[in-house]
Structure 1
Amino acid sequence: MESNTTVQMDDVDRRILAELTRDGRMSVSVVAENVHISRAHAYARISRLTSTGVLTKFTALVDPVKAGLKSSAYVTLKVSQHVWRELREELRAIPEVAHIALVGGDFDVILLVRAEDNQGLRRVIFDTLQSMPGVLDTQTFLIFEDLDTR
């Protein structure tokens, strides 16, 4: 299925997604019970949501500070025209980069960078990001407090 094709979903699908977003380890039986459908129906719906690309992966949310990543920042990049395809693969290879988004506005890319300490954050920004071909400018916004909204 094309990545930009919208999948038709109903209220049951949305309730299943809400349950799995709240707890990705929730069993199909518990999802079915919470959504008030049969286990077989829940299994079929989850399979369809997965095969159509609505559900892309099941993951754990990690508290970065408790995991030893005490310094975090949003880093914006201004990049040269036509470098995005190569640059995104280079960015994906940086272990400290937790999230990458191509955006419109005063900058082109925004990254969430998490490191063990300020020296690690500095190394990623100054030694890695700023030296990448096609990166014209960076701006760093330190994160003082993370709030999980899920």
Structure 2
Amino acid sequence: MDEVDRAILAALEKDGRISNADLAEQVGLSPSPCLRRVRRLEETGVIRGYRAVIDPAAAGRGLRVIVGVRLARHARADVVAFERAIVQLSEVVVTHHVTGNFDYLLQVEVADLPAYEDFHANRLAGLPGVAIANSYVAMKTLHPSGT
């Protein structure tokens, strides 16, 4: 990967729908070599996909909660059972397995506080191996692009 590839990645991170012609102009290539580089980055797995960035509030998920989860036991079977269960919950949009005071940090998006209370009491607390779930309501989310 060279500086041109890095420039392509940076441009695609900002706008995944940029046309190949505009991308090529932005990174200083003609369209054909630019397209070949993008396809190579896709084929080698550097670019894993393209997705829409959804405004959670506009989609009815205006409350974002970060949840620190500690498991009761760390036997492999317990970890696997928790991970299989957590990825099935549509309210959980990101799960990080971490070091420190918690085993996992979850990003949960729901409509409002009553919806989170229901999620916490009836779905999260019943997952395999959950010993502690500490909730932190996000008041503001900052993004590198400033949006």
Q: TM over 0.5: same fold?
A: yes
Does the 8 A contact of 2:81 with 2:128 survive in 1?
A: no
| Separation (CA, whole Å) in 1 of partners of 2:99 and 2:51 | 28
Does the 8 A contact of 1:72 with 1:121 survive in 2?
A: no
1:58 correspondence with 2:50 = yes
| Separation (CA, whole Å) in 1 of partners of 2:112 and 2:106 | 17
1:125 correspondence with 2:117 = no
Aligned equivalent of 1:10 = 2
Aligned equivalent of 1:141 = 136
| Separation (CA, whole Å) in 2 of partners of 1:31 and 1:11 | 14
Aligned equivalent of 1:95 = 90
> What is the aligned-residue identity percentage?
30
Q: Gaps spanning 5+ residues in structure 1: where?
A: 1-8
1:109 correspondence with 2:101 = no
- Greater CA deviation, 98-107 or 45-54? 45-54
Q: Which of 23, 29, 33 is residue 25 of structure 2 equivalent to?
A: 33
Residue identity in the other structure for 1:97: V
Aligned equivalent of 2:61 = 69
Q: Gaps spanning 5+ residues in structure 2: where?
A: none
| Separation (CA, whole Å) in 2 of partners of 1:124 and 1:49 | 39
Residue identity in the other structure for 1:124: F
> Which TM-score applies when normalising by structure 1?
0.88
Residue identity in the other structure for 1:14: R
Report how many aligned residue pairs link the two structures. 142
3-state SS of paired residue (1:72) = strand
User: CA offset at residue 66 of structure 1?
Assistant: 2.2
| Separation (CA, whole Å) in 1 of partners of 2:66 and 2:46 | 27
Query: What are the superposed Cα offsets for residues 103-142 of structure 1, whole Å, 9 maximum, x if unpaired?
Result: 1111111010000111111122221111111111111010
| Stretches of 4+ aligned residues off by more than 3 angstroms | none
| Separation (CA, whole Å) in 2 of partners of 1:52 and 1:39 | 20
**C-alpha RMSD of the superposition:** 1.3
User: CA offset at residue 17 of structure 1?
Assistant: 0.6
User: CA offset at residue 14 of structure 1?
Assistant: 0.7
